[in-house]
Amino acid sequence: MSILAVERVTRRFGGLVAVNDVSLAVEPGMIFTVIGPNGAGKSTLFKVIAGFLAPTSGTVRFAGETISGLKPHIIARKGLVRTFQETTVFKEMTALENVVIGHHMRARSGDLGVLFGLPAARAEEARFRETAAEILTYLGLGHVLHERARNLPHGYLRALGIALALASEPRVLLLDEPFAGMNPEETDQAVRMVRGIRDRGVTVLLVEHDMSAVMRISDRILVLNFGNRIAEGTPAEIQSDPAVIDAYLGQADDMVGL
């Protein structure tokens, strides 16, 4: 059974149809990518899946359960966690504090326990700090644990954003343009990181328009254009699909990266 299924989702903004009758199915353990030119509706679809927008029609299912229409934090608690474009982290906190917050939904001790510092809550907090440090070290941020996020270089912030999401032990991680604005070297690093996440047993759905990275990393690709699904398949199939080439025609060849 697919772990994440989008079934005939449409989302309108007034007269504009941003996503038109799109379906997709993500199998556990895969890296699934949604690509498309600017304005293709990728971000809207992403927000619908994560619960930040409700679909106008259609449903989103997570592990068989309908999640469309639920609040984002409920969806996150079920194990479907998103990251944000660019470098959205808590800027005024240290890297470690950021990732400790990422553990929030795994917390079992109640607010009162935390407030009064009961032993169970303290033990849990110590555990969170430990695994937070571990995740940061795994993503190559072990030497900046106590640095304020605001002072970290750009590339680190993206990794920190992913660390935040990983801390909640998601079953499916939604990555919003993780390679945007990276040079080839940074992209290579990020590609390795995303693979590593998948190898930890996390299913990955990513929205991206850096074609070359996508072709290397994805198990399956869905192409959107003007809100419509125009192709789906393995990277090899997508590269030779005439509809995809059409959609990207008029854009510079290096953008397509074929």
For residues 184 and 180, what is the distance between their CA atoms, to the nearest angstrom? 11
In terms of CB distance, is 52 or 226 closer to other proteins?
A: 52
Interaction between residue 41 and other proteins (CB under 8 A): no
For residues 258 and 246, what is the distance between their CA atoms, to the nearest angstrom? 13
Interaction between residue 71 and other proteins (CB under 8 A): yes
Q: Is 12 helix (H, G, I), strand (E, B) or coil?
A: strand
In terms of CB distance, is 61 or 129 closer to other proteins?
A: 129
Q: 76: closest CA among 5, 7, 2, 169?
A: 169
Residues 150 and 96 sit within 8 Å (Cβ to Cβ): no
Residue 117 burial (C-beta neighbours within 10 Å; 0-12, 13-18, 19+): exposed
Closest separation between CB of residue 174 and other proteins, Å?
A: 9
Alpha-carbon separation of residue 133 from 48, 116, 120, 125, 171 (angstroms): 32, 25, 20, 12, 21
Sheet holding 203-207, edge to edge: 80-82, 172-176, 203-207, 31-35, 220-225, 228-233
Closest separation between CB of residue 82 and other proteins, Å?
A: 5
In terms of CB distance, is 172 or 247 closer to other proteins?
A: 172
Alpha-carbon separation of residue 248 from 63, 176, 245 (angstroms): 33, 20, 5
Interaction between residue 148 and other proteins (CB under 8 A): yes
For residues 159 and 178, what is the distance between their CA atoms, to the nearest angstrom? 9
In terms of CB distance, is 8 or 143 closer to other proteins?
A: 143
Closest separation between CB of residue 60 and other proteins, Å?
A: 15
Interaction between residue 116 and other proteins (CB under 8 A): yes
Task: Count the neighbouring beta carbons within 10 Å of the beta carbon of residue 8.
Answer: 12
Residue for token digits 């849990």? 124
In terms of CB distance, is 67 or 221 closer to other proteins?
A: 67
Query: Taking CB under 8 A as the criterion, which residues in 72-101 touch other proteins?
Result: 72-73, 76-77, 81-84, 88-94, 96-97, 100-101
Interaction between residue 52 and other proteins (CB under 8 A): yes
Closest separation between CB of residue 143 and other proteins, Å?
A: 8
- Taking residues 154 to 173 in sequence order and writing x for each that binds other proteins by CB under 8 A, - otherwise, the string is ----------xx--x-----
In terms of CB distance, is 60 or 191 closer to other proteins?
A: 60
Binding site for other proteins (CB under 8 A): 50, 52, 71-73, 76-77, 81-84, 88-94, 96-97, 100-102, 104-105, 107, 111, 114-117, 121, 125-126, 128-130, 132-133, 143-148, 164-165, 168
